[in-house]
Amino acid sequence: MDFKNNFSKITKSLSESASNVVQKSNELIAVSALNGEINDEEKKKDIIYIAIGKVVYNSFINKAELSEEIKQKCEAVLEHNEQIKIIMEKIINVKRIKKCPNCGTDMNISIKFCPDCGVMQKLIEDDNII
């Protein structure tokens, strides 16, 4: 009987470990996909920056006032920055981390006090603030 109990414990431990590996793998895949989205947004911003530069330079050469086109392109950059913020929040949710509101340190969502500045944290369990 003792052998069966030990074997059962080992089997359970292996099963839990495998489950953790699967969870971490899924987390890495999700974070990689979200990082890919951030890279796409950054590339879109770079294209807009180039277009802004051309318009500004041509305005400068022609001694003209800066146009509405420049304002629109700058607004488009701001929109991409907002998308990046949203995607970064998704990464934080996938990793199950939070940022200290006082110092910005990343930490596990279950930590009660910031390890860097010591500020008490709101506890988050299963997407509910406690």
Question: What pLDDT sits at residue 117?
Answer: 93
Do 12 and 5 form a contact (C-beta atoms < 8 A)? no
Question: What pLDDT sits at residue 127?
Answer: 46
Single out the residue of 71, 73, 96, 78 nearest to residue 20, CA to CA.
96
Q: What is the average pLDDT across 31-44?
A: 94
Is 129 buried (19+), middle (13-18) or exposed (0-12) by CB count in 10 A? exposed
> Measured between alpha carbons, how far is 121 from 130 in angstroms, rounded to an integer?
10
Question: What pLDDT sits at residue 46?
Answer: 94
The yes-or-no verdict on residue 60 having pLDDT over 70 is yes
Instruction: Encode pLDDT of 11-32 as tens digits.
Output: 778 788 878 888 889 999 999 9
> Measured between alpha carbons, how far is 76 from 23 in angstroms, rounded to an integer?
36
pLDDT-based confidence at residue 113 (cuts at 50, 70, 90): very high
pLDDT-based confidence at residue 49 (cuts at 50, 70, 90): very high
Q: Which pTM value belongs to this model?
A: 0.53
Instruction: Kindly report which listed range (52-56, 61-65, 80-84, 86-90) carries the lowest average pLDDT score.
Output: 61-65
E strand or H helix that includes residue 92: helix 68-95
Angle between helices 68-95 and 2-61 (to 10 degrees): 170
